[in-house]
Structure 1
Amino acid sequence: MSKDQTTATGLPAYITEGDDGSLAVDLVRGLEISGAKVTKLKFREPTLDDQLVSQKVGENADAEVALLANLAEISPDDLRAIKMRDYARLQVALNFFYG
Structure 2
Amino acid sequence: MKTKDVNALPEWLEMTADGARVTLKYPLEVNGVKTDKVPMRAPCLRDLRAAGATSNGDQEQLEVTMLCSLTEIGEKDLGAIKTVDYKRLQEGYFRLDNEFGV
TM (normalized to structure 2)?
Answer: 0.81
| Secondary structure, aligned partner of 2:22 | strand
Name the aligned partner's letter for residue 18 of structure 1: T
Question: How far apart in 2 are the matches of 1:89 and 1:14?
Answer: 8
The offset of 1:38, in angstroms, is 0.9
**Equivalent residue number for residue 18 of structure 1:** 16
Higher RCO (CA < 8 A, seq sep 6+)? 2
Unmatched 5+ stretches in structure 2: none
4+ residue runs over 4 A deviation: none
Question: How far apart in 2 are the matches of 1:42 and 1:12?
Answer: 15
Q: How many residues were matched structurally? A: 93
Name the aligned partner's letter for residue 71 of structure 1: L
The offset of 1:53, in angstroms, is 0.9
- Which segment drifts farther, 88-97 or 11-20? 11-20
**Equivalent residue number for residue 52 of structure 2:** 55
Q: Deviations over 1:53-95 (max 9, x none)?
A: 1112211111111111111112111111101010000010111
Maintained 8 Å contact 1:30/1:86 = no
**Equivalent residue number for residue 38 of structure 2:** 41
| Secondary structure, aligned partner of 2:21 | strand
TM (normalized to structure 1)?
Answer: 0.84
Name the aligned partner's letter for residue 12 of structure 1: P
Unmatched 5+ stretches in structure 1: none
Identity among equivalent pairs (%)? 33
Name the aligned partner's letter for residue 67 of structure 2: L
